Structure 1
Amino acid sequence: MDHAAVLALYDRDMREGARPDGPGARVERHHTVVRQVGPPHGWNGVVWSDLDETTADAAIAEQVRYFAGLGREFEWKLYGHDLPVDLGKRLRAAGLRPRPEETLMVAEVADLPLDADVPDGIRLLPVTDAAGVDLVADVHEKAFGTDGTRLRHQLLTQLTGDRDDMVAVVALAGDEPVSAARLELVPGTRFAGLWGGGTVPGWRGRGVYRALVAHRAEVAADRGYRYVQVDATAQSRPILARLGFEPLTTTTPYVSA
Protein backbone atom coordinates (compact mmCIF):
# COMPACT_ATOMS: atom_id res chain seq x y z
CA MET A 1 0.00 0.00 0.00
CA ASP A 2 1.22 3.50 -0.85
CA HIS A 3 0.54 4.99 2.59
CA ALA A 4 0.99 8.63 1.58
CA ALA A 5 -1.31 8.32 -1.42
CA VAL A 6 -4.05 6.48 0.52
CA LEU A 7 -3.86 8.98 3.38
CA ALA A 8 -4.17 11.88 0.92
CA LEU A 9 -7.19 10.17 -0.65
CA TYR A 10 -8.72 9.62 2.79
CA ASP A 11 -8.23 13.28 3.71
CA ARG A 12 -9.84 14.41 0.47
CA ASP A 13 -12.78 12.00 0.41
CA MET A 14 -13.60 11.50 4.08
CA ARG A 15 -12.54 14.73 5.75
CA GLU A 16 -12.37 17.71 3.40
CA GLY A 17 -15.22 16.20 1.37
CA ALA A 18 -17.14 14.89 4.39
CA ARG A 19 -20.81 13.97 4.05
CA PRO A 20 -23.39 14.13 6.87
CA ASP A 21 -23.24 10.95 8.92
CA GLY A 22 -27.00 10.50 9.14
CA PRO A 23 -30.46 12.06 8.71
CA GLY A 24 -30.77 15.52 10.19
CA ALA A 25 -27.03 16.23 10.16
CA ARG A 26 -25.41 18.85 7.99
CA VAL A 27 -21.80 19.51 6.96
CA GLU A 28 -20.62 23.11 6.83
CA ARG A 29 -17.47 24.35 5.10
CA HIS A 30 -16.41 27.53 6.84
CA HIS A 31 -13.18 29.10 5.60
CA THR A 32 -10.43 26.64 6.56
CA VAL A 33 -12.59 24.28 8.63
CA VAL A 34 -15.08 21.53 7.76
CA ARG A 35 -17.52 20.76 10.58
CA GLN A 36 -20.66 18.72 11.16
CA VAL A 37 -23.70 19.92 13.05
CA GLY A 38 -25.76 16.95 14.12
CA PRO A 39 -29.40 16.48 15.07
CA PRO A 40 -30.43 15.98 18.72
CA HIS A 41 -28.29 13.16 20.14
CA GLY A 42 -26.08 13.36 17.03
CA TRP A 43 -22.37 14.01 16.63
CA ASN A 44 -21.04 17.57 16.39
CA GLY A 45 -17.49 18.42 15.54
CA VAL A 46 -14.63 19.43 13.28
CA VAL A 47 -13.50 16.78 10.80
CA TRP A 48 -10.92 18.70 8.74
CA SER A 49 -8.90 21.89 8.90
CA ASP A 50 -6.25 23.65 6.85
CA LEU A 51 -4.42 25.79 9.39
CA ASP A 52 -0.98 27.16 10.21
CA GLU A 53 0.64 28.95 13.13
CA THR A 54 -0.94 32.26 12.17
CA THR A 55 -4.53 31.04 11.71
CA ALA A 56 -4.99 28.15 14.16
CA ASP A 57 -5.86 30.01 17.36
CA ALA A 58 -8.48 32.20 15.71
CA ALA A 59 -10.06 29.20 13.96
CA ILE A 60 -10.22 27.24 17.22
CA ALA A 61 -11.78 30.18 19.06
CA GLU A 62 -14.33 30.60 16.28
CA GLN A 63 -15.44 26.95 16.51
CA VAL A 64 -15.69 27.12 20.31
CA ARG A 65 -17.92 30.20 20.00
CA TYR A 66 -19.99 28.66 17.23
CA PHE A 67 -20.88 25.44 19.00
CA ALA A 68 -21.36 27.23 22.33
CA GLY A 69 -23.85 29.48 20.56
CA LEU A 70 -25.76 26.38 19.47
CA GLY A 71 -25.64 25.01 23.01
CA ARG A 72 -23.76 21.94 21.75
CA GLU A 73 -20.74 20.06 23.00
CA PHE A 74 -18.42 19.25 20.13
CA GLU A 75 -15.34 17.27 19.18
CA TRP A 76 -12.33 18.39 17.20
CA LYS A 77 -10.97 15.25 15.57
CA LEU A 78 -7.22 15.79 15.38
CA TYR A 79 -5.13 13.58 13.10
CA GLY A 80 -1.43 13.01 13.66
CA HIS A 81 -0.41 14.73 10.43
CA ASP A 82 -2.60 17.82 10.88
CA LEU A 83 -0.93 21.23 10.96
CA PRO A 84 0.32 23.16 12.72
CA VAL A 85 2.34 20.52 14.55
CA ASP A 86 1.31 21.95 17.93
CA LEU A 87 -2.42 21.97 17.12
CA GLY A 88 -3.16 19.62 20.01
CA LYS A 89 -1.46 21.98 22.46
CA ARG A 90 -3.51 24.87 21.07
CA LEU A 91 -6.74 22.89 21.43
CA ARG A 92 -5.92 22.14 25.06
CA ALA A 93 -5.16 25.82 25.68
CA ALA A 94 -8.65 26.63 24.34
CA GLY A 95 -10.21 24.31 26.92
CA LEU A 96 -10.73 21.15 24.86
CA ARG A 97 -9.80 17.86 26.51
CA PRO A 98 -8.09 14.98 24.70
CA ARG A 99 -9.52 11.49 24.84
CA PRO A 100 -7.39 8.38 24.25
CA GLU A 101 -5.46 8.31 20.99
CA GLU A 102 -6.46 5.77 18.34
CA THR A 103 -4.83 4.61 15.12
CA LEU A 104 -6.35 5.11 11.69
CA MET A 105 -5.92 1.72 9.99
CA VAL A 106 -6.86 0.92 6.40
CA ALA A 107 -6.98 -2.24 4.30
CA GLU A 108 -7.84 -2.97 0.70
CA VAL A 109 -10.94 -5.14 0.71
CA ALA A 110 -9.41 -7.41 -1.92
CA ASP A 111 -6.55 -8.26 0.44
CA LEU A 112 -8.68 -9.22 3.45
CA PRO A 113 -9.61 -12.77 4.46
CA LEU A 114 -13.38 -12.63 4.10
CA ASP A 115 -13.93 -16.27 5.03
CA ALA A 116 -13.25 -16.01 8.78
CA ASP A 117 -15.28 -18.68 10.53
CA VAL A 118 -17.94 -17.64 13.00
CA PRO A 119 -16.98 -19.30 16.33
CA ASP A 120 -18.99 -22.29 17.48
CA GLY A 121 -22.08 -21.29 19.41
CA ILE A 122 -22.24 -17.84 17.79
CA ARG A 123 -24.71 -16.60 15.22
CA LEU A 124 -24.73 -13.21 13.52
CA LEU A 125 -27.97 -11.23 13.56
CA PRO A 126 -28.49 -8.28 11.19
CA VAL A 127 -29.93 -5.25 12.97
CA THR A 128 -33.14 -4.14 11.28
CA ASP A 129 -35.38 -2.80 14.05
CA ALA A 130 -35.53 -1.23 17.51
CA ALA A 131 -35.04 -4.58 19.24
CA GLY A 132 -31.78 -5.10 17.38
CA VAL A 133 -30.66 -1.56 18.23
CA ASP A 134 -31.23 -2.31 21.91
CA LEU A 135 -28.96 -5.35 21.60
CA VAL A 136 -26.21 -3.21 20.03
CA ALA A 137 -26.51 -0.60 22.77
CA ASP A 138 -26.42 -3.31 25.43
CA VAL A 139 -23.15 -4.69 24.03
CA HIS A 140 -21.72 -1.17 23.75
CA GLU A 141 -22.38 -0.44 27.40
CA LYS A 142 -20.90 -3.74 28.60
CA ALA A 143 -17.90 -3.66 26.27
CA PHE A 144 -16.88 -0.03 26.74
CA GLY A 145 -18.44 0.88 30.08
CA THR A 146 -20.15 3.94 28.60
CA ASP A 147 -23.74 5.06 28.18
CA GLY A 148 -25.31 3.80 24.95
CA THR A 149 -28.10 6.40 24.77
CA ARG A 150 -26.58 8.46 21.96
CA LEU A 151 -25.70 5.34 19.97
CA ARG A 152 -29.26 4.03 20.37
CA HIS A 153 -30.73 7.28 19.03
CA GLN A 154 -28.21 7.41 16.18
CA LEU A 155 -28.92 3.88 14.98
CA LEU A 156 -32.68 4.28 15.25
CA THR A 157 -32.48 7.46 13.18
CA GLN A 158 -30.36 5.76 10.53
CA LEU A 159 -32.62 2.71 10.35
CA THR A 160 -35.77 4.79 9.94
CA GLY A 161 -34.27 7.11 7.32
CA ASP A 162 -34.40 6.58 3.57
CA ARG A 163 -30.64 5.99 3.22
CA ASP A 164 -28.98 2.62 2.84
CA ASP A 165 -25.53 3.50 4.14
CA MET A 166 -25.33 1.73 7.50
CA VAL A 167 -25.18 -1.98 8.27
CA ALA A 168 -25.19 -3.15 11.90
CA VAL A 169 -24.78 -6.68 13.20
CA VAL A 170 -24.93 -8.39 16.59
CA ALA A 171 -23.20 -11.63 17.57
CA LEU A 172 -25.39 -13.79 19.79
CA ALA A 173 -24.41 -16.68 22.03
CA GLY A 174 -27.79 -18.29 22.34
CA ASP A 175 -29.96 -15.27 23.11
CA GLU A 176 -27.14 -13.30 24.77
CA PRO A 177 -25.60 -10.42 22.78
CA VAL A 178 -21.83 -10.72 23.14
CA SER A 179 -20.45 -8.51 20.36
CA ALA A 180 -21.73 -5.88 17.95
CA ALA A 181 -20.45 -3.59 15.24
CA ARG A 182 -21.58 -1.47 12.32
CA LEU A 183 -20.42 -0.56 8.83
CA GLU A 184 -20.77 3.00 7.55
CA LEU A 185 -20.92 3.25 3.76
CA VAL A 186 -20.07 6.65 2.29
CA PRO A 187 -21.52 7.01 -1.22
CA GLY A 188 -19.20 8.51 -3.79
CA THR A 189 -16.02 7.50 -1.95
CA ARG A 190 -13.77 4.47 -1.94
CA PHE A 191 -13.89 4.04 1.84
CA ALA A 192 -16.26 2.13 4.09
CA GLY A 193 -15.87 2.62 7.82
CA LEU A 194 -15.85 -0.05 10.52
CA TRP A 195 -17.29 1.43 13.72
CA GLY A 196 -18.36 0.43 17.18
CA GLY A 197 -16.79 -3.02 17.20
CA GLY A 198 -16.90 -4.24 20.77
CA THR A 199 -17.05 -7.58 22.58
CA VAL A 200 -18.16 -8.15 26.16
CA PRO A 201 -15.28 -9.18 28.44
CA GLY A 202 -16.19 -12.85 28.80
CA TRP A 203 -16.10 -13.44 25.03
CA ARG A 204 -12.89 -11.66 24.07
CA GLY A 205 -10.11 -13.62 22.43
CA ARG A 206 -12.44 -16.20 20.86
CA GLY A 207 -12.56 -14.88 17.29
CA VAL A 208 -15.89 -13.06 17.50
CA TYR A 209 -14.45 -9.62 16.70
CA ARG A 210 -12.49 -11.10 13.77
CA ALA A 211 -15.70 -12.65 12.40
CA LEU A 212 -17.50 -9.30 12.59
CA VAL A 213 -14.65 -7.58 10.72
CA ALA A 214 -14.81 -10.21 7.96
CA HIS A 215 -18.61 -9.96 7.76
CA ARG A 216 -18.56 -6.19 7.35
CA ALA A 217 -15.66 -6.25 4.89
CA GLU A 218 -17.60 -8.72 2.76
CA VAL A 219 -20.58 -6.34 2.71
CA ALA A 220 -18.25 -3.49 1.69
CA ALA A 221 -16.82 -5.63 -1.10
CA ASP A 222 -20.29 -6.49 -2.36
CA ARG A 223 -21.13 -2.77 -2.43
CA GLY A 224 -18.04 -1.97 -4.51
CA TYR A 225 -15.83 -0.24 -1.94
CA ARG A 226 -12.07 -0.54 -2.34
CA TYR A 227 -10.96 0.25 1.22
CA VAL A 228 -12.21 -0.32 4.74
CA GLN A 229 -10.96 1.90 7.54
CA VAL A 230 -11.18 1.84 11.31
CA ASP A 231 -10.12 4.04 14.22
CA ALA A 232 -8.40 1.27 16.15
CA THR A 233 -7.91 1.15 19.89
CA ALA A 234 -4.78 -0.36 21.37
CA GLN A 235 -6.84 -3.49 22.05
CA SER A 236 -8.11 -3.99 18.48
CA ARG A 237 -4.99 -2.84 16.60
CA PRO A 238 -3.08 -6.17 16.87
CA ILE A 239 -6.12 -8.12 15.62
CA LEU A 240 -6.58 -5.77 12.68
CA ALA A 241 -2.87 -5.88 11.83
CA ARG A 242 -3.01 -9.68 11.65
CA LEU A 243 -5.94 -9.40 9.25
CA GLY A 244 -3.99 -7.09 6.93
CA PHE A 245 -4.88 -3.57 8.08
CA GLU A 246 -2.07 -1.02 7.97
CA PRO A 247 -1.66 2.09 10.17
CA LEU A 248 -1.74 5.43 8.36
CA THR A 249 -1.80 7.98 11.17
CA THR A 250 -3.18 8.59 14.65
CA THR A 251 -6.42 10.29 15.60
CA THR A 252 -7.26 11.97 18.91
CA PRO A 253 -10.69 13.38 19.79
CA TYR A 254 -10.52 16.72 21.59
CA VAL A 255 -13.85 17.43 23.28
CA SER A 256 -15.36 20.60 24.64
CA ALA A 257 -16.19 20.82 28.33
Structure 2
Amino acid sequence: MPPREQRFERIMNDRYCVLLGPVARFTQVQRLRLAPGDVVETVAEIRRLVSESGHLDAEWWVGDSATPRDLAKRLLELGLVRAERPPHEPRFTAMALVDAPAEVPGVVARPVETFEEYELASDIAENAFAVPESERAEWRRIARERWEIEKAPESRVKRFLAWVDGQPAATATAVFGDAGALLIGGSTLPEARGRGAYRALVRTRWDEAVRRGTPGLVVQAGAMSRPILERLGFQPVCRIEALLDPSSA
Protein backbone atom coordinates (compact mmCIF):
# COMPACT_ATOMS: atom_id res chain seq x y z
CA MET A 1 0.00 0.00 0.00
CA PRO A 2 1.34 3.50 -0.82
CA PRO A 3 2.34 5.82 2.04
CA ARG A 4 -0.55 7.75 3.61
CA GLU A 5 0.35 11.00 1.83
CA GLN A 6 0.10 9.33 -1.58
CA ARG A 7 -3.32 7.75 -1.33
CA PHE A 8 -6.99 8.33 -0.71
CA GLU A 9 -8.85 6.68 2.14
CA ARG A 10 -12.58 6.03 2.11
CA ILE A 11 -14.48 5.37 5.34
CA MET A 12 -18.02 4.23 4.62
CA ASN A 13 -20.94 2.79 6.52
CA ASP A 14 -24.71 2.85 6.12
CA ARG A 15 -24.88 6.46 7.39
CA TYR A 16 -22.09 8.30 5.58
CA CYS A 17 -18.98 8.18 3.43
CA VAL A 18 -15.88 10.17 4.41
CA LEU A 19 -13.17 10.64 1.79
CA LEU A 20 -9.73 11.63 3.06
CA GLY A 21 -7.37 12.78 0.33
CA PRO A 22 -3.58 12.86 0.18
CA VAL A 23 -3.43 16.37 1.70
CA ALA A 24 -5.02 17.52 4.95
CA ARG A 25 -7.55 19.86 3.35
CA PHE A 26 -8.96 17.23 1.03
CA THR A 27 -11.75 16.12 3.36
CA GLN A 28 -15.22 15.28 2.05
CA VAL A 29 -18.35 13.93 3.74
CA GLN A 30 -20.88 12.40 1.34
CA ARG A 31 -23.82 10.00 0.90
CA LEU A 32 -25.54 11.07 4.10
CA ARG A 33 -28.38 8.79 5.24
CA LEU A 34 -29.12 9.72 8.84
CA ALA A 35 -32.11 9.17 11.08
CA PRO A 36 -33.41 12.43 12.58
CA GLY A 37 -32.31 11.39 16.05
CA ASP A 38 -28.78 10.49 14.91
CA VAL A 39 -27.67 13.80 13.38
CA VAL A 40 -25.99 15.33 16.45
CA GLU A 41 -24.17 12.12 17.36
CA THR A 42 -23.04 11.50 13.77
CA VAL A 43 -21.67 15.03 13.37
CA ALA A 44 -19.64 14.56 16.57
CA GLU A 45 -18.44 11.16 15.33
CA ILE A 46 -17.26 12.54 11.99
CA ARG A 47 -15.58 15.50 13.66
CA ARG A 48 -13.58 13.10 15.83
CA LEU A 49 -12.70 10.98 12.81
CA VAL A 50 -11.47 14.00 10.82
CA SER A 51 -9.46 15.33 13.76
CA GLU A 52 -7.83 11.99 14.53
CA SER A 53 -6.86 11.65 10.85
CA GLY A 54 -5.05 15.00 10.93
CA HIS A 55 -7.40 16.48 8.35
CA LEU A 56 -8.97 19.94 8.06
CA ASP A 57 -11.85 21.85 6.46
CA ALA A 58 -14.35 19.02 6.14
CA GLU A 59 -16.74 19.72 3.27
CA TRP A 60 -20.17 18.14 3.62
CA TRP A 61 -22.14 17.44 0.44
CA VAL A 62 -25.87 17.29 1.08
CA GLY A 63 -27.73 15.98 -1.96
CA ASP A 64 -31.43 15.69 -2.72
CA SER A 65 -31.44 12.10 -1.44
CA ALA A 66 -29.77 12.92 1.90
CA THR A 67 -31.80 12.26 5.03
CA PRO A 68 -33.40 13.66 7.02
CA ARG A 69 -34.89 16.03 4.44
CA ASP A 70 -33.91 19.08 6.50
CA LEU A 71 -30.34 17.86 7.04
CA ALA A 72 -28.68 21.00 5.64
CA LYS A 73 -30.66 23.18 8.05
CA ARG A 74 -29.73 20.93 10.98
CA LEU A 75 -26.04 21.02 10.03
CA LEU A 76 -26.08 24.82 9.86
CA GLU A 77 -27.56 24.88 13.35
CA LEU A 78 -24.67 22.67 14.51
CA GLY A 79 -22.07 25.18 13.33
CA LEU A 80 -21.42 24.29 9.70
CA VAL A 81 -21.44 27.16 7.18
CA ARG A 82 -22.18 27.41 3.48
CA ALA A 83 -19.08 26.66 1.41
CA GLU A 84 -18.46 30.10 -0.06
CA ARG A 85 -14.71 30.44 0.54
CA PRO A 86 -12.62 29.81 -2.64
CA PRO A 87 -12.15 27.29 -4.10
CA HIS A 88 -15.48 26.07 -2.71
CA GLU A 89 -19.00 26.81 -3.95
CA PRO A 90 -22.22 26.54 -1.92
CA ARG A 91 -24.31 24.74 -4.55
CA PHE A 92 -23.70 22.21 -7.31
CA THR A 93 -25.73 20.21 -9.78
CA ALA A 94 -24.87 16.57 -10.43
CA MET A 95 -25.13 15.96 -14.19
CA ALA A 96 -24.67 13.03 -16.57
CA LEU A 97 -23.97 12.52 -20.28
CA VAL A 98 -24.39 9.33 -22.32
CA ASP A 99 -24.00 10.74 -25.86
CA ALA A 100 -20.83 12.04 -27.47
CA PRO A 101 -20.30 15.80 -26.98
CA ALA A 102 -19.34 17.91 -29.98
CA GLU A 103 -15.73 18.10 -31.08
CA VAL A 104 -13.99 21.48 -30.74
CA PRO A 105 -11.89 22.49 -33.75
CA GLY A 106 -8.79 24.58 -33.19
CA VAL A 107 -8.13 23.41 -29.62
CA VAL A 108 -5.62 20.69 -28.77
CA ALA A 109 -6.65 18.65 -25.73
CA ARG A 110 -4.94 15.47 -24.54
CA PRO A 111 -3.63 13.67 -21.44
CA VAL A 112 -0.52 15.12 -19.82
CA GLU A 113 2.59 13.23 -20.90
CA THR A 114 5.41 14.53 -18.68
CA PHE A 115 5.93 15.67 -15.12
CA GLU A 116 6.49 19.20 -16.44
CA GLU A 117 3.04 19.14 -18.04
CA TYR A 118 1.60 17.71 -14.83
CA GLU A 119 3.04 20.65 -12.87
CA LEU A 120 1.75 23.10 -15.49
CA ALA A 121 -1.74 21.63 -15.20
CA SER A 122 -1.55 21.96 -11.42
CA ASP A 123 -0.56 25.62 -11.69
CA ILE A 124 -3.47 26.37 -14.03
CA ALA A 125 -5.98 24.69 -11.71
CA GLU A 126 -4.63 26.36 -8.58
CA ASN A 127 -4.73 29.80 -10.20
CA ALA A 128 -8.19 29.30 -11.66
CA PHE A 129 -9.63 28.08 -8.34
CA ALA A 130 -7.72 30.63 -6.23
CA VAL A 131 -6.29 27.85 -4.07
CA PRO A 132 -4.62 29.28 -0.93
CA GLU A 133 -0.82 29.19 -0.90
CA SER A 134 -0.75 26.90 2.14
CA GLU A 135 -2.75 24.26 0.27
CA ARG A 136 -0.68 24.69 -2.90
CA ALA A 137 2.44 23.93 -0.88
CA GLU A 138 0.88 20.68 0.36
CA TRP A 139 0.12 19.52 -3.20
CA ARG A 140 3.55 20.57 -4.49
CA ARG A 141 5.21 18.50 -1.78
CA ILE A 142 3.66 15.30 -3.15
CA ALA A 143 3.46 16.27 -6.84
CA ARG A 144 6.16 13.87 -8.02
CA GLU A 145 4.61 10.95 -6.12
CA ARG A 146 1.13 11.74 -7.45
CA TRP A 147 2.48 11.90 -11.01
CA GLU A 148 4.17 8.51 -10.66
CA ILE A 149 0.87 7.02 -9.48
CA GLU A 150 -1.28 8.66 -12.16
CA LYS A 151 0.98 7.82 -15.11
CA ALA A 152 0.88 4.09 -14.35
CA PRO A 153 -1.07 2.16 -17.03
CA GLU A 154 -3.47 0.75 -14.44
CA SER A 155 -4.29 4.16 -12.93
CA ARG A 156 -7.95 5.17 -13.02
CA VAL A 157 -7.03 8.85 -12.65
CA LYS A 158 -5.81 10.88 -15.61
CA ARG A 159 -5.08 14.60 -15.96
CA PHE A 160 -5.54 16.49 -19.22
CA LEU A 161 -4.33 19.77 -20.74
CA ALA A 162 -5.75 22.00 -23.47
CA TRP A 163 -3.84 24.43 -25.68
CA VAL A 164 -5.33 27.46 -27.45
CA ASP A 165 -3.20 29.11 -30.14
CA GLY A 166 -0.33 26.96 -28.97
CA GLN A 167 -0.52 28.19 -25.38
CA PRO A 168 -1.56 26.10 -22.35
CA ALA A 169 -5.04 27.34 -21.46
CA ALA A 170 -6.96 24.83 -19.36
CA THR A 171 -6.77 21.58 -17.44
CA ALA A 172 -9.12 18.91 -16.15
CA THR A 173 -9.03 15.46 -14.57
CA ALA A 174 -11.08 12.31 -14.98
CA VAL A 175 -11.56 9.39 -12.59
CA PHE A 176 -12.51 6.31 -14.61
CA GLY A 177 -14.86 3.82 -13.01
CA ASP A 178 -16.60 0.64 -14.07
CA ALA A 179 -19.56 2.45 -15.67
CA GLY A 180 -18.11 5.76 -16.83
CA ALA A 181 -15.88 8.68 -15.90
CA LEU A 182 -16.20 11.28 -13.15
CA LEU A 183 -15.09 14.69 -14.40
CA ILE A 184 -13.33 16.89 -11.85
CA GLY A 185 -11.02 19.89 -11.72
CA GLY A 186 -12.02 21.57 -14.98
CA SER A 187 -10.41 25.01 -14.97
CA THR A 188 -9.45 27.59 -17.59
CA LEU A 189 -7.14 30.58 -17.30
CA PRO A 190 -9.20 33.80 -17.29
CA GLU A 191 -7.56 35.15 -20.44
CA ALA A 192 -8.41 31.96 -22.37
CA ARG A 193 -12.08 31.63 -21.44
CA GLY A 194 -14.65 31.54 -24.20
CA ARG A 195 -12.25 29.86 -26.65
CA GLY A 196 -13.49 26.27 -26.33
CA ALA A 197 -10.78 24.84 -24.06
CA TYR A 198 -13.20 23.59 -21.41
CA ARG A 199 -15.43 21.96 -24.04
CA ALA A 200 -12.42 20.32 -25.68
CA LEU A 201 -11.41 18.82 -22.34
CA VAL A 202 -14.88 17.34 -21.94
CA ARG A 203 -14.62 15.80 -25.40
CA THR A 204 -11.16 14.29 -24.88
CA ARG A 205 -12.26 12.74 -21.58
CA TRP A 206 -15.30 11.30 -23.35
CA ASP A 207 -12.97 9.79 -25.95
CA GLU A 208 -10.86 8.21 -23.21
CA ALA A 209 -13.98 6.82 -21.51
CA VAL A 210 -15.06 5.29 -24.84
CA ARG A 211 -11.59 3.81 -25.33
CA ARG A 212 -11.93 2.15 -21.91
CA GLY A 213 -15.33 0.73 -22.85
CA THR A 214 -17.34 2.94 -20.46
CA PRO A 215 -19.04 5.65 -22.59
CA GLY A 216 -20.60 7.85 -19.93
CA LEU A 217 -19.65 10.99 -18.01
CA VAL A 218 -20.82 12.40 -14.68
CA VAL A 219 -19.87 15.72 -13.15
CA GLN A 220 -20.58 17.98 -10.20
CA ALA A 221 -21.29 21.25 -12.00
CA GLY A 222 -20.76 24.65 -10.43
CA ALA A 223 -22.14 28.02 -11.44
CA MET A 224 -19.63 28.60 -14.26
CA SER A 225 -19.57 25.11 -15.74
CA ARG A 226 -23.25 24.19 -15.68
CA PRO A 227 -24.33 26.39 -18.65
CA ILE A 228 -21.50 24.97 -20.78
CA LEU A 229 -22.31 21.40 -19.79
CA GLU A 230 -26.00 21.89 -20.53
CA ARG A 231 -25.14 23.03 -24.06
CA LEU A 232 -23.02 19.89 -24.47
CA GLY A 233 -26.01 17.71 -23.62
CA PHE A 234 -25.49 16.94 -19.93
CA GLN A 235 -28.70 16.30 -18.00
CA PRO A 236 -29.26 17.26 -14.34
CA VAL A 237 -29.52 14.39 -11.88
CA CYS A 238 -29.74 16.10 -8.48
CA ARG A 239 -28.80 19.22 -6.55
CA ILE A 240 -26.06 19.31 -3.92
CA GLU A 241 -25.55 21.81 -1.11
CA ALA A 242 -21.95 22.17 0.07
CA LEU A 243 -21.24 23.05 3.70
CA LEU A 244 -17.92 23.55 5.49
CA ASP A 245 -17.25 22.59 9.09
CA PRO A 246 -15.15 25.35 10.71
CA SER A 247 -14.64 23.17 13.78
CA SER A 248 -12.37 20.93 11.69
CA ALA A 249 -10.18 23.81 10.52
TM range (shorter): 0.7 to 0.9
Conservation of the 8 A alpha-carbon contact between 1:118 and 1:208: no
Residues 41-80 of structure 1: pairs in structure 2 closer than 5 A: 41=24, 43-73=26-56, 74-80=58-64
Secondary structure at the aligned position of 2:74 is classed as: helix
Task: Name which of 157, 163, 181 aligns with 1:172.
Answer: 163
Conservation of the 8 A alpha-carbon contact between 2:29 and 2:60: yes
Aligned to 2:173: 182
Shift of 1:41: 4.6
Conservation of the 8 A alpha-carbon contact between 1:25 and 1:42: no
Cα separation, 2, equivalents of 1:89 and 1:69:
26
What TM-score do the two structures reach when normalised by structure 1? Answer: 0.79
Number of corresponding residues:
229
Aligned to 1:205: 194
Cα separation, 2, equivalents of 1:154 and 1:87:
36
Task: Name which of 22, 27, 30 aligns with 2:10.
Answer: 27
Shift of 1:103: 0.7
Task: Name which of 228, 248, 256 aligns with 2:245.
Answer: 256
Cα separation, 2, equivalents of 1:124 and 1:88:
38
Cα separation, 2, equivalents of 1:39 and 1:203:
30
- 1:96 equivalent in alignment to 2:80: yes
> Percent identity at matched positions?
29
> Residues 55-78 of structure 1, C-alpha deviation per residue, up to 9 Å, x if partnerless?
222111211122123331122222
- 1:129 equivalent in alignment to 2:114: yes
> Residues 217-255 of structure 1, C-alpha deviation per residue, up to 9 Å, x if partnerless?
110111111421111112211111111100011123322
Shift of 1:143: 2.2
Cα separation, 1, equivalents of 2:184 and 2:238:
17
Conservation of the 8 A alpha-carbon contact between 1:127 and 1:170: yes
State the AA in 2 paired with 1:203. Answer: A
Cα separation, 2, equivalents of 1:38 and 1:244:
31
Shift of 1:88: 0.9
Shift of 1:211: 1.0
Aligned to 1:116: 103
State the AA in 1 paired with 2:188. Answer: T
Cα separation, 1, equivalents of 2:176 and 2:234:
18
State the AA in 2 paired with 1:239. Answer: I
Cα separation, 2, equivalents of 1:202 and 1:49:
39
Conservation of the 8 A alpha-carbon contact between 1:41 and 1:154: no
> Residues 128-150 of structure 1, C-alpha deviation per residue, up to 9 Å, x if partnerless?
33311221122113322224725
State the AA in 1 paired with 2:173. Answer: R
Moved more, 155-164 or 194-203: 155-164
Aligned to 1:159: 147
Task: Indicate how the Cα distance of structure 1 residues 130 and 42 shifts in structure 2: closer, same or farther if over 3 A, else same.
Answer: farther
Secondary structure at the aligned position of 1:164 is classed as: coil
> Residues 192-229 of structure 1, C-alpha deviation per residue, up to 9 Å, x if partnerless?
11111111122211222111111111101111114211
Shift of 1:169: 1.3
Aligned to 2:181: 192
State the AA in 2 paired with 1:142. Answer: N
Shift of 1:104: 0.5
> Residues 6-45 of structure 1, C-alpha deviation per residue, up to 9 Å, x if partnerless?
xxxxxxxxxxxxxxxx952222224522222333457222
Q: Which runs of 5+ in 2 are unaligned?
A: 84-89
